[in-house]
Amino acid sequence: MARLEAPAKQKTVPIIDLGLPEEEAATQIREACTGSGFFYVSNHGVSESLVDDTFEQQRELFHLPIAEKMAMLQNENNRGYTPFQEETLDPVHQTHGDTKEGFYFGREVAADSPESKKPLHGPNQWPNPQLMPRYREVTWQYYEALYGLGMRLLRLLALSLGLPAPYFAPMFDRPMVTLRPLHYSGEVSDPGAGVFGAGAHTDYGMLTILATDDTPGLQIWTGPDLTSGSAPNSSNGASGGGREGSSAGDEGTTVAAAGGRWCDVEPIPGTFIINLGDMLERWTNGRYRSTLHRVLNTTGRERYSIAFFFEPNFEAEVAVLPVCCGPDDPPRYPPTTAGQHLLDRYAATHAGYHGPVKQGHEKQQHLQ
Ligand SMILES: O=C(O)CCC(=O)C(=O)O
Ligand SMILES: [Fe+2]
């Protein structure tokens, strides 16, 4: 894929060159994290051929017969297949579930290991190797490459907060990493009628590294912070049940009555899209933003993306960082753990996820 320059309209979502010296990249990251909460990274070191190969494998995976996919249905460890409409990210505005299907893969944890007793940990459900001989190898290579990128981003995030570069690393030595290939159907979204590719939501965790194909659809809310329940569901926000117009209005943005805008985040070949989740917002006492975003199908084309959710160890304590609070700005969130935070969020949005039922962990309690 050819590398492109950023179009002028991408200013709210800057492209950060990871070839820059760390301090310089960290300064830009700080601006992005206190601004729109989204940025692209270029020069990230993940080879384009690996990205292309991985997308090809995901396309084949989604084209397996439905019986093969249903045999891998999402399990209690949050690994496996989620069918079309299984997930409703914005129940207030959606009349049916997201027009997408997906798979969850996580860090491979052997079934007989003590770690597999923890919620959200266990072996992956891989497709039948006779049907997809290269799937596991290619996807795992991609997973490892993105893990490396995630660790680099953690260094930059720490620096951007005035912390030592390795600050977060010890909390990511047994991370809860989730690779989530997604496939959006060709159904055109109709926000007025409650039909979305993915309903408006914020991501739950720390950091998301997103790769998309060349079909647009992702939009971010740039305006006053809103919960998904209060975000306008149409492009102009004033029409109520009116049909969505083109989402690619002037400057790639659509105006909403609530004083904000839905802004397109266009695919830029050779980059990843990075965004921050609720856990980092919590950790930074709201200084870094977990931004509301959604996916609209405006083209009638199918779309593929791969989200990589990079979350700390299950037991990692998520308490407001001392550098992000002070006498005039006390912590706004009580401490929690990374695992508990994620369990709470999954249970709220997945019809098919009923939480952990592992022995000793029946009650979604904090674990030590
Ligand atoms: O597919 C996309 O572009 C975004 C997906 C997303 O926001 C998510 O999976 O959390
Ligand atoms: Fe998301």
CA distance 261 to 220: 8
Ligand 1 atom closest to residue 307's alpha carbon, by position in its atom list = 9
If you take atom 5 of ligand 1, which residue's CA is the nearest one? 307
Three-class secondary structure assignment of the chain? CCCCCCCHHHHHCCEEECCCCHHHHHHHHHHHHHCCCEEEEECCCCCHHHHHHHHHHHHHHHCCCHHHHHCCECCCCCCEEECCCCECCCCCCCCCCCCEEEEEEECCCCCCCHHHHCCCCCCCCCCCCCCCCCHHHHHHHHHHHHHHHHHHHHHHHHHHCCCCCCCCHHHHCCEEEEEEEEEECCCCCEHHHCECCEEEECCCCCEEEEEECCCCCEEEEECCCCCHHHCCCCCCCCCCCCCCCCCCCHHHEEECCCCCEEEECCCCCCCEEEEECHHHHHHCCCCCCCCCEEECCCCCCCEEEEEEEEEEECCCEECCCHHHCECCECCCCCCEEHHHHHHHHHHHHECCCCCCCCCCCCCCCCCC
- Given a cut of 70, the residues of the chain with pLDDT beneath it are 1-11, 225-258, 347-368
Q: Which atom of ligand 1 is the closest one to the Cα of 212?
A: 3
Residue with CA at minimum distance from ligand 1 atom 6: 307
CA dihedral 348, 110, 183, 289 (to 10 degrees): 50
CA 302 to ligand 1 centroid distance, Å: 14
Q: Which residue's CA is the nearest one to ligand 1's atom 1?
A: 305
* Residue of 86, 180, 183, 210 with the most ligand 1 atoms within 8 Å of its CB, for mutation: 210
Residue 223: predicted pLDDT? 77
Q: From the CA of 303, give the closest atom in ligand 1.
A: 1
Q: Is the CB of 182 under 6 A from ligand 1?
A: yes
What pLDDT is recorded for position 31?
Answer: 97
Q: Whose CA is nearest to atom 8 of ligand 1?
A: 307
Residue nearest to atom 3 of ligand 1 (CA): 218
Q: How many CB atoms lie within 10 A of CB 164?
A: 10
Are residues 296 and 249 in contact, defined by beta-carbon separation less than 8 angstroms? no
Q: Are 234 and 192 in contact (CB under 8 A)?
A: yes
Q: 82, 202, 293, 294: which to mutate for ligand 1, most atoms within 8 A of CB?
A: 293
Q: Which ligand is nearest to the CA of 219?
A: 1
- CA 37 to ligand 2 center in whole angstroms: 12
**Model pLDDT, residue 79:** 96
CB of 139 within 8 A of CB of 55? no
Q: What is the pTM of this model?
A: 0.87
Residues 6 or more apart whose Cβ sits within 8 Å of residue 19: 42, 43
- How confident is the model at residue 83, as a pLDDT? 95
Which residue minimizes the CA distance to atom 9 of ligand 1? Answer: 307
> From the CB of 198, is ligand 1 less than 6 Å away?
yes
Cβ 306 under 6 angstroms from ligand 1: no
Does ipTM top 0.95? yes
Q: HSE on the CB side for 350, CA within 13 Å?
A: 25
Q: Ligand 1 centroid vs 295 CA: distance in angstroms?
A: 7
Ligand 2 centroid vs 359 CA: distance in angstroms? 31
Residues 151 and 137: beta-carbon distance below 8 Å: no
